[in-house]
Amino acid sequence: MSSIRKNLFIWLLLGLTLLWAIAGAGIYLSVKRSEIAKIDYELQRMAGALRFIAGSTSRNTGPQRPDHLIVRPPRENFQPSENRTTPENRIAQRWPDLLSERGPKYIIWSNKDTVIRQSEGLTTKEFKFPEITDSNSPIFFNISLQNGDSMRAMASTFRRFGFGRPRPRGNEGIRRPTDESPAENQEQNLPRNTSLTGIIALSSKPMEESLNTLLFGIIAIGIAAGFCSFSLVHFALKNGLKPLYVLGNKLASVDSSSLSHRFSKNDLPVELSPICGHLNKLMERLEDGFERERRFSGDLAHELRTPIAELKMMAEVALRWPENNTESHANETLDVAQQLQEIIESLLALSRYENGDEDPTCEKILLQKFTGDCWDPFVKKAEEKNIRVTINISNEHLIETDPKILRLIINNLFSNATEYTPSEGIINISGSHESEGHILSISNSVENFNQEMLSQLFERLWRGDVSRTDGSHSGLGLALSKACSKCLGLNLEAELIKNDQIKFILSRTDIKN
Amino acid sequence: MRILLVEDKNRLREAIEKALRESGYAVDSTDNGNDGLWMGCENTYDVILLDIMLPGLDGLSVLEQLRERERNTPVLLLTAKDTIADRVKGLRKGADDYLIKPFALEELLARIEALCRRSYKKSTSTITLNDLIIDGSAKTVKRDGNLIDLTAREYAILEYLAMRQGSVISRSEIEEHIYDELVSPMSNVVDSAICNLRKKIAKGPDDGELIHTRRGQGYILMPKN
């Protein structure tokens, strides 16, 4: 069985976890990008040094920090020639960190096969000659060294610094090869505006260390946030769904004795308000249904208990004082038994018709003759009460239905009409053409009848006479007629006309609908 | 004892009426609430048997109005309504007992006796006066251990006198409680019944009377000194 709480819990937790993961990844990537951008900026800044390195007199080892830069002489002093602006000096002044131990590594090619400068310990296996298509756009990439270090590198093309052939700078810092190799000779002979290709690389280890720290931090915060989210979602759902549980508990406490209870919308959140409204309507319907059933049970108990009490009392009196027994006593006992039998048979018939256990056998009947036959047993009673009866049915009016069931319906309606029409009252029986929907309508005068009574008219065992004194009726006739009508696919309705006349209309359900 | 029976079902009313008369009660009956209320207010009854669902005025309204008019006659509700709510409602309106239809005749009679005893503040159904024992359950009278054969009416008079022993009871009071509306006020049925009763309960010609006549006042049942 699906659970709202479980579903919400899973989805909220998954959603929050995803959000945390995206946020963590976003932070990590943006920091990484920023760090890389910083290194790239640093590389770009230092790339200018390559020109000077290429123009310096030293070979392979790259520029060395001159001693005079460590202890700078007073400016007013004469500057010796070695202190004047040389590539080494320029490098030391502008890119002091280039000369530090943790400074960048570089390599400079004059062409693909000739390395003219390179940092110590580097090989061309690690720094391969880059293919640069656009000389104005440097290329950035990552390099993994053989010792396991990783570096961020920038490859670019540039022109060599200086004018003409490099001048000798005394003995220090100048390493003039005595047995110059062809390559060295070639380098010595390079023109000043020769295009060179260089790679400068900075160790990315500090960046990776800080990124790793950040990653661990993000993961740790993520785990803590996950636990917090779990607790938060659990708490939020528990509190959020509390009104639902409260409503459920209230609903569970409803039983047949508390159907008059209505749920208050004031204590509930707005989302549950419509449900509460529907529940209250359901309670109203249930209360009506229970009330109807209670009334039916009470009425049935009365209808059955009273004749049984009569039978029992008459039998006990007859047994106790047998000398007083007469024939009328036996007849009365028989009448009571007959009354009980009629009630029980009516109840059984009602049950059969309501459950659809009876299959109608249809045949064509002339309504006028059929109705006349049904009316015959009631003529005498109508005459005794001076009731004015009019029957208006066409002699050609033919209907196809089950005559047995229709007779039951019409007999009950006629019995009802003659019983409750006051003396000097009227009964109108009219048959409409079937195409109009109405088959038969029976109206009669009534006294002390109101709209509320009309709504209960077809209820089982309902009687206008609340004291139920008259034992010849049980209040099942109209309910039985209604059930029979349904069985025939007909609809039986009653309407009150001017509060002094009631009209029963038997019509076809299909045409009405 | 005089009983009012208000029941709209003719057959049931007639059967109960017959059973009560045969048991020695004077019974007045009616089939509607309005008449029942009028009779309950106008006459003195020892018990009223009242149906709830009545034409005219329903039984509970009759009961309510009786109590409003300070008629404290014990009322036994006879009804087919069997729910606890109905019983509680009936008892709270002032009924003294509640009997659900269908009921056994024996039970009805026992409850009526109990209500009568309660109205005369007797806790048991047996009344003893010297060697005279009146058994209200068996409706028998014994004197010195010998069963005395009494008619229902004679038994009723003796029981009524015994319940109020030591008090002078007028002829009209006896008529009201023992005889129903059909008895003429001018008849001497009470005197002749008392006379017959004296003869029947006497142990012999020389036996002193238990039922004494107070001239111009009525009768009194007193133990012998």
Q: Do A467 and B55 touch (CB under 8 A)?
A: yes
pLDDT in the model for residue A164 = 46
Closest CA to B97 of B164, B48, B31: B48
Residue A76 or A396, more confident: A396
> How many angstroms separate the CA atoms of B41 and B46, rounded?
13
Q: Does A469 touch chain B (CB under 8 A)?
A: yes
Q: Please list every residue in chain B whose beta carbon sits closer than 8 Å to the beta carbon of residue A325.
A: none
Can you list the pairs that A409-412 forms with residues at least 24 positions away whose Cβ atoms lie under 8 Å? A409/A481, A409/A484, A409/A485, A409/A488, A409/A490, A409/A492, A409/A506, A410/A370, A410/A371, A410/A374, A410/A440, A411/A374, A411/A377, A412/A477, A412/A478, A412/A480, A412/A481
The string of DSSP codes covering A462-491 is --S-TT---TT--S-HHHHHHHHHHHTTEE
B15 in contact with chain A, both atoms CB, cutoff 8 A:
yes
Kindly state the tokens that stand for A256.
């047949």
The number of helices, as runs of H, and strands, as runs of E, in chain B is 8, 11
Comparing B50 with A97, the larger pLDDT belongs to: B50
Q: What is the pLDDT of residue A68?
A: 46
- pLDDT computed for residue A357 by the predictor: 83
Q: Give the pLDDT mean for A21-29.
A: 92
Helices (H) and strands (E) in chain A, counts: 14, 12
Express each pLDDT in A296-333 by its tens digit.
Answer: 887 888 888 888 999 999 999 988 888 877 778 888 88
- The C-alpha atoms of residue B202 and residue B218 are separated, in whole angstroms, by 20
- E strand or H helix that includes residue B215: none
- 8 A C-beta contact, residue A445 and residue A460: no
Distances (CA, A) of A67 to A60, A74, A88, A429, A497: 20, 14, 12, 135, 127
Q: What is the mean pLDDT of chain A?
A: 81
A177 within 8 A of A135, measured Cβ to Cβ: no
Backbone angles phi, psi at A386, to 5 degrees: 55, 45
For the cut 90, the answer to whether the pLDDT of residue B13 exceeds it is: yes
pLDDT at B97 over 50: yes
> What pLDDT is attached to residue A435?
56
- Write the secondary structure of A391-431 as one string of H (helix), E (strand) and C (coil): EEECCCCEEEECHHHHHHHHHHHHHHHHHHCCCCCEEEEEE
pLDDT number for residue B181: 67
For residues A68 and A82, is the Cβ–Cβ distance under 8 A?
A: yes
CB A450 within 8 A of CB A469: no
State whether residue B182 sits within 8 Å of chain A by CB: no
Higher pLDDT, A87 or A257: A257
The better pLDDT of the pair A51, A24 is held by: A24
Output A124 or B132, whichever has higher pLDDT: B132
pLDDT band at A96 (very low <50, low <70, confident <90, very high): confident
pLDDT over 60 (residue A73):
no
φ, ψ dihedrals at A73, nearest 5°: -75, 155
pLDDT at A59 over 50: no
* pLDDT score, position A70: 44
Q: Can you tell me the distance from the alpha carbon of A459 to that of A479, in angstroms, rounded to the nearest whole number?
A: 6
| pLDDT at residue A387, as a whole number | 92
Compute the average pLDDT of residues A154-176.
Answer: 57
| Interface touch B80/A305, C-beta < 8 Å | yes
C-alpha–C-alpha distance, residues A343 and B74, integer Å: 35
- DSSP string covering A185-234: HHHHT--TT-EEEEEEEEE-HHHHHHHHHHHHHHHHHHHHHHHHHHHHHH
Query: Is A143 near chain B, with CB under 8 Å?
Result: no
Among the listed residues B158, B156, B150, the one whose alpha carbon sits nearest the alpha carbon of residue B178: B156
Give the pTM: 0.59
Strands B97-100 and B75-79: parallel
- Alpha carbon distance, N-terminus to C-terminus of chain B: 29
- Chain A residues within 8 A of B53 when measuring between CB atoms: 302, 466-468
Lowest-confidence region among A34-38, A75-79, A319-323: A75-79
ipTM of the complex: 0.76
**Structural element, H or E, at residue A292:** helix A273-320
Q: Are B178 and B48 in contact (CB under 8 A)?
A: no
User: Position B206: which residue type?
Assistant: D
Tell me how many degrees the CA angle B115-B121-B124 measures, rounded to the nearest 5: 75
Nearest by CB to residue B103, choosing from A309, A335, A466, is A309
% of chain A at pLDDT higher than 70? 84
Residue A456's pLDDT is 85
Q: Which of B22, B83, B102 sits opposite A312 (nearest CB)?
A: B102
Condensed to tens digits (0 to 9), the pLDDT of residues B196-211 reads 888 888 877 667 678 8
Residue A87, number of CB atoms within 10 A of its CB = 23
* Beta strands at A114-118 and B132-135: parallel, antiparallel or unpaired: unpaired
